Amino acid sequence: MNSAQVLAYIPSPSQGVWHLGPIPIRAYALCIVAGILVALWWGSRRWIARGGQPGEVLDVALFAVPFGLIGGRAYHVLTDWRYYFTDLGQTLNPPRSAMDAFKIWDGGLGIWGAVALGAVGAWIGCKVYGIRLPAFGDAIAPAILLAQAIGRFGNYFNQEVYGRATDLPWGLEIFQRVPDNLTGVSTGVRTAIVHPTFLYEALWNVLFVLVLVAVDRYYRVGHGRLFALYVMGYCFGRFFVELVRDDPASEPFGMGIRVNSIVAVVVFGCALAYFLAAPRGRELGLSMYRPKRAAELEAEGKVGYIDPWADDDADDASDVDASEVDATDETDETDAPDSPSGPSISSSGPSISSSGPSISSTGPDDELRVVSATREIDAPAAEIFALIADPAQQPRFDGNENLAEAEDGQRVSAVGDVFQMTNTSGRVRENTIVEFETDRLIAWKPSEVGGPQPGHLWRWELEPLDDRVTLVTHTYDWTGLDPDDAKRNERARATTAESLLASLDRMAALFGADETEEADEFVQVADADDADADEAGADEAGADDAVADAEDEAPNIVRRSEAAETADTDDDDDVAAEEPESEADEEAESEGDDDAESEAEAEEDAEADADADDDADADDAADADEDPDNA
């Protein structure tokens, strides 16, 4: 040991308590209070940045902080009970007795108990104020860990929870204090040089705070997963710090392992399990609140401001060509039916008939920001609702040709539920349920995964007409989009009432055919009926007669992919060939010449329809590929 090493040692403070008259000012308490204040300040900023309301972190803290202090002290006393309730307490400096278990100002807070019981207090506070606990935990997680780093310096002033003896240059000097170690003043006599475990843990905490902030910024985790990551990070560092600590501690089961090491491993495992099981994405704005509180805030117009770190992939998407948009509008106008009885788009929302499908739009003539379509479907409301509420089924009846696939097991059941959908361009979008009434109403707002909601909304409304028939309305509402967001607004304009009606027609086809057949087969039911293919399929196709009649009068909304399917009738694997066999099928099979003639006529009709709508279909396809937000 040389003089350079001695000069590099970290000296302990000469005292940990100062007196202001009769009032003791304890450094340990000051460090704890400073950590709490920093956590409240930074946690509040993070909460507001996610769309929370000012003052809510403090409101919840009024429950969480007292619970945390009690939990931290209780854990410390329970794990070190021998030093409070047996003669072992007399061997410490200063000695301890049972009454000292209540002297929290003398130090001794177990972080495990503080976090556990503090979480209970936070849960109570969140329940009182209508806040979702996982979202709250994610917002304050880095702030809590920083508060722990600050609080560790209280151990430095108390000359406690230090490590084993060392001759490392950064060793911590421990001095003799009189009358005792906690309240006394240093005599200048050095009694030991030890590992500064308080500093190891504080530095690790600060380092992991930076990790949490980076993960939160670039990976945008939520639903309590960031809080779980904080717990895992702290446990990992604490496990290794415990390996060099030398202060008195319990070693349960005679294993020679400190109790905090065992707890660190168990808690790490629990946090990891939660991290892996919790939903992906992040809650922002009103989704951070329980439904009742969210409705109140929405009614008051208080939705918070958007997360400043939010990434908007809309900027990465291809720019919408203004000429294409103009062409789309022009095509829509030229394709509109001359017959007043057909569906049309206007502010008054005309309909085909009281029993047939209808389409409507609302808003100023030059800015139609709500479009909808309505039709009757021959199926009970409960069955239709079950189909809509299962995201994995939605691509089967998507008339926008925008949805590709969704994982199974995401069925939604309440406001606040979130599901993810992959669209045809390969982008994954997160959808948050904002309206829900079983068998009657469901609506969601799409966004990029973990990002803010731009403001548009998809809604399905079901009105049972009788036990077997349901009036279904499908609506696209983009009044909530930022008027200055030109790209999103242009893409929103490309969603027409005709495309919504196409979704309803596809859904009707699903319920109008045999459940074992695929959705692509059902689209051809009306064509099969027109071709008089068989009598056995007439009952199933009859449910779609109204749709076929309406389409004769309505603007042609057949998509290019459907026209191609109709035209491709040369293979035996064609949809018409997969219809259930019947007496009419056998007769059609035996009359090859008549069959070929019918197929040729169907092919000519499909090609004529496809040519008539070539420009409009191309524009619709381009818009569908370009819109990453429809879900």
Give CA–CA dist 15/48, Å, rounded. 40
Mean pLDDT calculated for residue range 298-308:
62
Residue 353: pLDDT band (50, 70, 90) is very low
Which amino acid is present at 506?
R
HSE (side-chain half, CA atoms, 13 Å) at 275? 16
Mean pLDDT in residue range 317-332: 42
Please report, for the chain, the start and end positions of each structural domain, with discontinuous segments joined by +.
10-285, 358-512
Question: Contact 521/509 with Cβ under 8 angstroms?
Answer: no
DSSP-derived 3-state class of residue 70: helix
CA distance 84 to 108: 12
Mean pLDDT of the region 339-345: 38
Is 323's pLDDT higher than 90?
A: no
**What digits encode the pLDDT tens for the residues 585-598?**
444 444 444 444 44
- Helix (H) / strand (E) containing 239: helix 225-242
Long-range CB pairs of 122-129, under 8 A, 24+ apart, other chains included: 122/60, 122/63, 122/64, 122/67, 124/63, 124/67, 125/59, 125/60, 125/61, 125/62, 125/63, 125/64, 126/60, 128/59, 128/63, 129/56, 129/59, 129/60, 129/293
Instruction: Please name the residues in contact with 66: beta carbons below 8 A apart, sequence gap of 6 or more.
Output: 121
Sequence-distant (≥ 6) Cβ neighbours of residue 624 within 8 angstroms: 400, 401, 402, 424, 494, 630
Mean pLDDT of 197-212: 96
Cβ 185 vs Cβ 178: under 8 Å: yes
The mean per-residue pLDDT over the stretch 372-390 comes to 92
Instruction: Say whether domain 358-512 belongs to CATH 3.40.47.10.
Output: no
Distance of CA 196 to the CA centre of its chain: 41
- Look at residue 340 and tell me whether its pLDDT is greater than 70: no
Amino acid at 290: R
pLDDT tens, residue by residue, 218-243: 887 899 999 999 999 999 999 999 99
Residue for token digits 């309730």?
A: 85
Question: Is the distance from CB of 271 to CB of 235 less than 8 angstroms?
Answer: yes
Q: What is the distance between the terminal CA atoms of the chain, rounded to a whole angstrom? A: 69
Mean confidence (pLDDT) of the chain: 75
Percentage of the chain surpassing pLDDT 70?
Answer: 68
Angle at CA of residue 309, ends 305 and 313, nearest 5° = 100
Alpha-carbon distance 413 to 391, whole Å? 12
CB 334 within 8 Å of CB 319 = no
> Distance between CA atoms of 50 and 236, rounded to whole angstroms?
28
- Residue 433 is predicted with a pLDDT of 94
Would the pLDDT of 354 be above 70?
A: no
Residue 275 has pLDDT above 80, yes or no: yes
Tell if the pTM clears 0.85, that is, is over it: no
Spatial contact of 28 and 17, defined as CB atoms under 8 Å apart:
no
Q: What is the pLDDT of residue 486?
A: 75
Cβ proximity of 323 and 166 under 8 Å: no
Q: At 627, list the tokens.
A: 């819109």
Under 8 Å between Cβ of 303 and 293: no
Q: Could you give the dihedral angle defined by the CA atoms of residues 56, 60, 66 and 70, in that order, rounded to the nearest 10 degrees?
A: -140
Question: How many other C-beta atoms are found inside a 10 Å radius of the C-beta of residue 437?
Answer: 12
Angle, helices 111-129 vs 56-79, to 10°: value is 150
What's the pLDDT score for residue 432? 94
Q: Which of 10, 9, 29, 11 is nearest to 183 (CA)?
A: 29
pLDDT band at 81 (very low <50, low <70, confident <90, very high): confident
CA distances from 593 to 169, 584, 590 (A): 99, 15, 9
The pLDDT of residue 346 is 36
Question: Which of 503, 520, 525, 530 has the alpha carbon at shortest distance from 605?
Answer: 530
Q: How far is CA 3 from CA 8, 169, 189, in A?
A: 9, 10, 18
Q: Give tens-digit pLDDT for 402-444.
A: 888 898 999 999 999 999 998 877 778 899 999 999 999 999 9
Q: Binding site: residue ranges?
A: 152
185 CB-near residues (< 8 Å, 6+ apart): 14, 15, 177, 178
pLDDT in tens, 458-517: 999 999 999 889 999 999 998 888 877 777 777 777 788 888 898 999 899 988 754 434
Between CA 440 and CA 317 the distance in angstroms is 35
